Amino acid sequence: MGNGGSGKTWLALRLAEPLGLRLVHLDDVHWEPGRYGIARDRAVVHEDVRTLAAGEAWLIEGVYGRYVDIALPRTTALIWLDLSEDECVANIMRRGIQGGESQESFDGLVKWVSEYRIRKNNWNSFDAHLKLYESFSGQKARLTSRDEIDAYAKNFLRS
């Protein structure tokens, strides 16, 4: 889990296949197919996440703390990518508009990513991710730089 642009998908792609895990992108579960910015019905998404988490071997990545919370009881390892908002915004700007986004929704995403630490009462905030991380008793890692993320990916696959 982590803010938008923190590298969640990048890391997940490097870990899932070598480990033989099904990769689930929470963006694909949350948004209507091909319609970035139009959320699916929350109850349906919650049930989909429960079903996915009930599977045998998976790697779920995303910013959505509410969905992470649903999967947490079946989670064996939790990785929190906690990069600065400036770095996350720079990563978002580098990758540009994706997956059916409009310029307006992209601009909204950039603003939203920049507000990660100041969002309150929101499952997709720094505060919510911190609570999820602190409450998790299994194997966990909080990575705060691109170098730490790179090293984690390399070392994880060696072990």
Helix (H) or strand (E) holding 107: helix 103-114
Query: Does residue 154 belong to any structural domain of this protein?
Result: no
The owner of tokens 């099904």 is 22
Q: Are strands 58-61 and 35-39 parallel, antiparallel or unpaired?
A: unpaired
Q: Do residues 29 and 36 touch, judged by C-beta distance below 8 A?
A: no
- Amino acid 13 reads L
Query: Does residue 57 belong to any structural domain of this protein?
Result: yes
Query: Does residue 159 belong to any structural domain of this protein?
Result: no
pLDDT band at 38 (very low <50, low <70, confident <90, very high): confident
What CATH number should be reported for the domain holding residue 106?
Answer: 3.40.50.300
DSSP, res 87: H
131-142 average pLDDT score: 96
Greater confidence, 158 or 62? 62
Summarize pLDDT for 79-127 with one digit per residue, the tens: 999 999 999 999 999 999 886 678 898 999 999 999 999 999 899 999 9
Predicted pLDDT at 156: 79
**Average pLDDT for the chain:** 92
Greater confidence, 128 or 35? 128
Query: Does residue 1 belong to any structural domain of this protein?
Result: no
Q: Do residues 44 and 94 touch, judged by C-beta distance below 8 A?
A: no
Please list, in sequence order, all residues whose beta carbon lies within 8 angstroms of the beta carbon of residue 29, skipping any fewer than 6 positions away. Answer: 40, 45, 48, 49, 52, 62, 67
118-146 average pLDDT score: 95
Choose the most confident range, by mean pLDDT, from 47-51, 64-68, 154-158.
Answer: 47-51
Task: Using alpha carbons, select from 77, 19, 33, 101 the residue that is nearest to residue 48.
Answer: 33
pLDDT over 70 percentage in the chain: 97
Query: Does residue 156 belong to any structural domain of this protein?
Result: no
SS3 32: strand
For the chain, the domain total comes to 1
**Domain containing residue 103:** 8-149
Query: Does residue 123 belong to any structural domain of this protein?
Result: yes
Predicted TM-score (pTM) above 0.85: yes
Query: Does residue 72 belong to any structural domain of this protein?
Result: yes
pLDDT band at 48 (very low <50, low <70, confident <90, very high): very high
Predicted pLDDT at 159: 66
Query: Does residue 105 belong to any structural domain of this protein?
Result: yes
